[in-house]
Amino acid sequence: MPMSRAQTPIFSIPMRRVEGFLTDKICFRDAKARTPHPGLILENNSHNECRLQIWDKFLIKHEYRISKQNGEQFVDVTNDNNIIHRKGNIVPGAMTVSKIILPLEILFAELEISSVNIKFTGSAFYGERTCNLFLWHFVSSDYIQIEVKTYQQDRVVATTIILGRLKTAAKQVKEIDEALVNKKCLARVQAYFETLGILSDFYVNKDGYKDYTYPLAYIAALPSAEIVNQLSGQGGMINILRMDFGNFERIPITGDKGPEVKLARAKKRNTFNKIITEVAEGLVTYYRGLAIVNPIAKFQNSTEPVLDALNKLISPQEDTSVPFSGVNKV
């Protein structure tokens, strides 16, 4: 959706936000860069702050690597007991999800993400170069669709569709008194950022206020761990994960326990498990979603073992250079 230069840009991004990604490489690409009307323009404002003015659709290339040490720390923080992320070489699917959502939350603080739909098409492995390609579409003056392809080498690991809209100027920000913040829960969120190689201050420090709410990326990482705990306590394989953040309300980091995930199987099937997820804090349910899980994962008290399949995944003889087709380990 081209916009007239007489109007304000769609986004105005302080380029200093990129500095929060300690080891990642983030590039903005503009197909119209050499035309009279480029979609991206770098400008310095009156305070000599470099900002990227976004006028039209564009592409972001985000490159990173996940070490096994960071992967193990991540599953500790998110309480994921799946042994393949510790004894094996497989990056947690929730970590892949976090690396997709967090850049949007940090770089585009004015974006309200309404839903995330991710389909895993292969396994990501520790130590390999990973690349997220974000293609932005401005559906209307308010609504945005972002298509994301995640690659390792030449393999597609995941495809994602993210829907959102611009924050309205009239919307009031609910600032949270720092004295009310649960320090233990905040420390867990900060540890979550550290495992991803991202400085948490670049999420907390918004323009003019401090944001003491749980990142949506953190929320989207929680169902995977709970599914692992519920499915025989051994783990499973997620094919699709959907999260609906439709009301745009964020969970404040003030509760006693933090967000809790509730699961329910929609209907027993032989081919896959469809699991309904809810994320609540206290008595309030904030977000809903679903996961499509491979039938290797069985619910608690099932008599069908999954250890044999897991042993194959972590066996030293397994060639981890070959992706598992159509599934990602939670």
Which residue type, as a one-letter code, is found at position 294? N
Please give the average per-residue pLDDT across 159-181, as a whole number.
85
Residue 6: what are its φ and ψ, rounded to 5°?
Answer: -75, -20
Q: Which pLDDT value is given to residue 4?
A: 46
- CA proximity to 41, closest of 70, 79, 74, 13: 13
Which has the minimum average pLDDT: 17-21, 91-95, 170-174?
Answer: 170-174
| 3-state secondary structure (DSSP) of residue 194 | helix
Please give the residue that has the higher pLDDT: either 123 or 269: 123
236 exposure class (CB count in 10 Å sphere: 0-12, 13-18, 19+)? buried
8 A C-beta contact, residue 148 and residue 89: no
- CA proximity to 151, closest of 174, 130, 172: 130
Residue extents of the structural domains in the chain: 63-314+324-329
- CA proximity to 155, closest of 125, 193, 198: 125
- Cα 298 to Cα 131, 226, 303, distances in angstroms: 32, 13, 9
Rounded to whole angstroms, the Cα distance separating 129 from 23 reads: 12
Does domain 63-314+324-329 bear CATH number 3.40.50.40?
no
Q: Which pLDDT value is given to residue 63?
A: 97
Which residues, in sequence order, are CB contacts of 59 under 8 Å at separation 6+?
Answer: 28, 29, 30, 31, 133, 134, 135, 136
Q: Which pLDDT value is given to residue 230?
A: 75
Under the banding of pLDDT at 50, 70 and 90, the label for residue 248 is: low
264-287 burial code (b ≥16 CB/10 A, e <16): eeeeeeeeebebebebbbeeeebb
Which has the minimum average pLDDT: 120-129, 180-189, 320-329?
Answer: 320-329
Please give the average per-residue pLDDT across 39-54, as a whole number.
90
